[in-house]
Amino acid sequence: MNKFQTAIACAILALGASTAAHAQFSMPSIPGVKGLGGGASSAPDLTGQQDGLVRGYVAANKDVLDANSLMANALGLKTAAATSAATSASLTEGATKDNLEESNKAVAASTSAVAAEMAKKPVLDANAKALYGKGLILLASGVNKFTGVGKNVSTMGSSLKSASPLQLPKLQSAVYIVSNFPTSMTNVTGALTNAIAFAQSQDIPVPKDANDALKAL
């Protein structure tokens, strides 16, 4: 359990204590998000911040899931493609912590399936290459959105330092995103790097947006 998760557990336990306590959070390092940080503001709107954070995270995850669905289809992975598409369709802006966790599992599973198939170096026909290219554009969009979410993650992490133990149970979606964002960012960045390399090996045109997304990290 890292410092951030330990702090959350301690804060929740403090709900039953006779004296009020404030949770102390240690912001994790966020790959792809440069020069972010800063102290907590006074009386932040934690609910509003959480809503915005969830919307951004959901939008980024949906792009990645849709990208994986297209690329999986291009690679002949029909089941993985269908699962990714269904998970994306069910993911909404009002996602709970459990919804977010399930979507992350789906992203990890589909990304792994696509990577494993690409490692076999299959030869794609023209239609498959076109489908793969569309997926690559969406994946780049997802990475760009994750980079944008990183700014809100940093702000939310600072704001959570001032949250009272009574507020934390209502902020579980935000707590989940802040604690898991570094891993998510690392995974999608690696997926885009891998996807570009495969496209180049197949003579699939790499969209400018995809290269720009990597350069921006």
Please say whether the beta carbons of 28 and 182 come within 8 A: yes
Q: pLDDT at position 80, please?
A: 93
What does the pLDDT look like over 20-60, one tens digit per residue?
333 344 445 555 544 444 444 445 689 999 999 999 999 99
Of residues 63 and 19, more confidently modeled: 63
Sequence letter at residue 154: S
- DSSP character at residue 35: S
Read off the pLDDT band of 172 (50, 70, 90). very high
Residue with tokens 């306590």: 21
Rounded percentage of the chain residues whose pLDDT exceeds 70: 80
Q: Provide the pLDDT for residue 168.
A: 87
pLDDT at 28: 52
3-class SS at 1?
Answer: coil
Residue 171 tokens read as 């902020």
pLDDT given for residue 30 in this prediction:
53
Q: Given this model, what pLDDT does residue 43 score? A: 53
Q: Which of 72-86, 114-128, 158-172 has the lowest mean pLDDT?
A: 158-172
d(CA 108, CA 95): 18
Cα(143)–Cα(3) distance, integer angstroms = 26
Count of beta carbons in the 10 Å neighbourhood of residue 110:
26
- Predicted confidence (pLDDT) at residue 11 exceeds the cutoff of 80: no
End-to-end alpha carbon distance in the chain: 27
DSSP character at residue 168: G
Give the torsion through C-alpha atoms of 13, 176, 5, 84, to 10 deg: 130
pTM, 2 dp: 0.78
Higher pLDDT residue, 216 or 76? 76
Residue 72 has pLDDT above 50, yes or no: yes
